[in-house]
Amino acid sequence: MRGLRALLRGGLALALALPLLGAFAGARAQDAARGAALAEERGCGACHGPRGVSAIENIPSLAGQQAEFIAVQLVLFREGLRDVPPMEAPSAGLTDAQVEDLAAHFASLPHAPPEDRPARNAEAFARGEALAGPLRCGICHRADLSGQNQVPHIAAQREDFLAGTLRAYRDDQRRGSDTQMNGVVKGLSDADIAAIAHYVAQR
């Protein structure tokens, strides 16, 4: 097990979640219904919002998120391969079927920006847009930043969460299946990251 965990932490964490990914192409409505009941039972709304739109600083919104991305993250939390203490209890003991149901539930919710989203700053938005182009964010996250498969929907995500996540990638503090982001944002200043986060949050 130690060898497997080391391998996964080294960049192959997605391998652990791959058996789940084929299930989402035909996610059934009842999967989402079971996921809604499970989300209520596990108290997901206390942090992520009752409809999956976070009102808490540095806590991501999940409404309309890619189901495969949610599933991968839940498996990483469950297996202790992502160190996010607040997610330890909610993910503990989840079966693969429950992971699928939770992912289907949150993916089915209407995507929306947080109610406390800051007003658009034209200068910051333009700077973030100019930086995002050469970084080719739209290649993986799509042109509208809605994500695809295990690549997350980032448009209209919480700005504080986006900035914190980008800083963690830049500083090599994120491990798992998405470590390619470490190289993408390497060398960005805090000001660059703030501008990109503002641009993405305003999309």
CB-based contact 197:137 (threshold 8 Å): no
**Residue 140 annotated as binding site:** yes
**Residue 1 annotated as binding site:** no
Query: What is the C-alpha to C-alpha distance for residues 82 and 101, in angstroms, rounded to an integer?
Result: 21
Using only C-alpha atoms, the chain has a radius of gyration, in whole angstroms, of 17
Extract the tokens encoding 197: 């986060």
CB-based contact 117:53 (threshold 8 Å): no
| Beta bridge partners of residue 148, listed in sequence order | 151
Q: Is the dihedral of CA 174, 141, 107, 4 positive or negative?
A: negative
**Residue 105 annotated as binding site:** no
CA distances in angstroms from 198 to 70, 170, 194, listed in the order given: 23, 17, 6
Extract the tokens encoding 4: 């497997």
**Residue 47 annotated as binding site:** yes
Q: Is the dihedral of CA 104, 150, 48, 132 positive or negative?
A: negative
**Residue 153 annotated as binding site:** no
**Residue 198 annotated as binding site:** no
Residue ranges of the annotated binding site for heme c are: 44, 47-48, 87, 137, 140-141, 181
Residues placed in the known binding site = 44, 47-48, 87, 137, 140-141, 181
